Amino acid sequence: MSEQHIAVIGAGIVGVSAALHLQRDGKRVTLIDERNPGEGTSKGNAAVLAIDSCAPVATPGVMWDVPKYLKDPLGPLAIRWSYLPKIAPWLLRFVAASKPERVEEISIALRSILLQATAVHRDLARAINETSILKETGWLGVFESDKKFESYQWDLDLQKRRGVPFQVMKQEEIRQFEPSLQPIFRHAVYYPENSYVLDNFRLVREAARVFAENGGSIVKARVTGFHIGERGPTAVKTETGSIACDGVVVAAGAWSKALTAMLGHKVPLDTERGYHVTLPNAQKMPRMPLYSGDHSFAVTPLEVGLRFAGTVELGGLDAAPNYDRAEILMKHGRRMFGELNEEGRSNWMGFRPSMPDSLPVISQGRRYANTWFAYGHGHLGLTLGPVTGKIVADLVAGRESGLDLKPFAIDRF
């Protein structure tokens, strides 16, 4: 019997990780993307492994915040008016996912997979001979506002129920713990489980290089459809020709929705547009990643510079970036650190693939048994990319993953 040939669509952290794990299983793997490996959302994320992040984006009471999201285009979470008709069904499911009992279920499912993430990241770092790229420093959430910190107690209570370790710090401890910060923060929470990678883009490129060196095929082409046989897809159609295969993994991030529809499933996938600013010559670098509890963004000390990354803009894949949102990040960054050297500054916008319940799709297809789906990780794409790739290989092989995968099923809606 010839070796099984799996086509993986999407060369971000999820797709490349899946390709590597399938290759380890002895599969012949072709990785397909219209961009070079890592050049989509994986290129510009915050580079943080947020193991603490078991709370969904939609939490109780979020329904009353939606008008605010529409009113403030530069807020931490904003909705473009022009996109509202298209995203309205997603928003309804988003609000439905904010019910207290549903939030508990979602947080349990997220915590179960988050607990496996760091070990698989270590394994990936070893596989690409880049063990120093993973920095297990923890991260520090800081709050200037008493009111914001008081509202964060809900998150801490949820994390406590899920067994997330953390340490609350008072104002006098914060500067000693992180001297790079201005003395304006009154509260902080340290999460020892969290870590980060020194260069998220390099991580994916190196993983793709190792995949190719081990015999994997990388095809740079846009996928246009599938040839479907009696039992499912027999080939992937691209703009440059067809690629015969025995099975397909869809891991194309925010572009997965249309591909999934071609394979018999309708999913409520949309995109959270995220922004970053990177300062290659900032001259101030924290010891570890930081999180602004007041303004909901991350700060990461990378090899390429100091990065401010975050915010959520619901506006789809086609609208032009609003780089005023990046400027807001920079404004808050200056307040955190004081004067910064902004020479060589770069701005970026990317698309987080997001499900309304904050749970990714990690699932075998129900229509065709030789299809598998892995996307929708929202803010946790880098965190969960490698472990998702491992689970995909388990699904293809028919192995138990050690996780309850029902919450991540493609047909859960």
Q: Over the stretch 334-343, which tens digit does the pLDDT of each residue have?
A: 999 999 999 9
Q: How confident is the model at residue 66 (pLDDT cuts 50, 70, 90)?
A: confident
Q: Which of 223, 230, 236, 226 is nearest to 369 (CA)?
A: 230
- C-alpha 107: how far from its chain's center? 16
Distance, in Å, from the CA atom of 120 to the CA atom of 134, rounded to the nearest integer, reads 11
Residue 375 within a domain: yes
The percent of the chain in helix, strand and coil, each rounded to the nearest 5, is 40, 25, 35
Pair 260, 373: CB distance under 8 Å: yes
List the structure tokens of 91: 């928003």
Residue 413 within a domain: no
pTM value is 0.97
Residue 366 within a domain: yes
**Radius of gyration of the chain from its Cα atoms, rounded to whole angstroms:** 21
List the structure tokens of 224: 């246009």
Residue appearing with tokens 């931490």: 76
Pair 201, 42: CB distance under 8 Å: yes
Q: How confident is the model at residue 63 (pLDDT cuts 50, 70, 90)?
A: confident
- Give the residue-averaged pLDDT of 176-183: 96
List the Cα angle 199/293/100 in 5-degree steps.
105
Q: At 189, which amino acid appears?
A: V
- Give the residue-averaged pLDDT of 300-316: 95
CATH number of domain containing 274: 3.50.50.60
Q: Which of 263, 256, 231 is nearest to 246 (CA)?
A: 231
- Give the residue-averaged pLDDT of 147-153: 96
Residue 294 within a domain: yes
Q: How confident is the model at residue 104 (pLDDT cuts 50, 70, 90)?
A: very high
Task: Classify strands 139-143 and 305-314 as parallel, antiparallel or unpaired.
Answer: unpaired
pLDDT of residue 1: 46
Pair 21, 411: CB distance under 8 Å: no
- Give the residue-averaged pLDDT of 263-284: 96
pLDDT of residue 68: 80
| Structural domain count, the chain | 1
Domain limits for position 127 = 5-408
Residues in the chain: 413
Distance, in Å, from the CA atom of 10 to the CA atom of 255, rounded to the nearest integer, reads 9
DSSP alpha helix (H) spans, 233-346 = 256-262, 324-337
9-13, 182-186, 308-312, range with the lowest pLDDT? 308-312
On the CB side of 310, CA atoms within 13 Å amount to 23
- Give the residue-averaged pLDDT of 255-278: 97
Q: Does residue 181 carry a pLDDT above 80? A: yes
pLDDT of residue 314: 93
- Give the residue-averaged pLDDT of 292-315: 95
Residue 138 within a domain: yes
Distance, in Å, from the CA atom of 312 to the CA atom of 47, rounded to the nearest integer, reads 16
64-78, 179-193, 316-330, range with the lowest pLDDT? 64-78
- Give the residue-averaged pLDDT of 351-360: 97
Q: Which of 266, 268, 242, 246 is nearest to 353 (CA)?
A: 268
60-69, 179-188, 251-260, range with the lowest pLDDT? 60-69
Residue 293 within a domain: yes
Residues in a beta bridge with 249: 8, 372
Q: Does residue 134 carry a pLDDT above 90? A: yes
Pair 289, 235: CB distance under 8 Å: no
Q: Does residue 409 carry a pLDDT above 60? A: yes
pLDDT of residue 67: 82
Q: Does residue 2 carry a pLDDT above 80? A: no
What mean pLDDT value characterizes the chain? Answer: 96
Pair 382, 43: CB distance under 8 Å: no
Tell me the percentage of the chain whose pLDDT exceeds 70: 100
- Give the residue-averaged pLDDT of 178-194: 97
Distance, in Å, from the CA atom of 11 to the CA atom of 39, rounded to the nearest integer, reads 8
Distance, in Å, from the CA atom of 194 to the CA atom of 196, rounded to the nearest integer, reads 7
- Give the residue-averaged pLDDT of 108-122: 98
Q: Does residue 165 carry a pLDDT above 70? A: yes
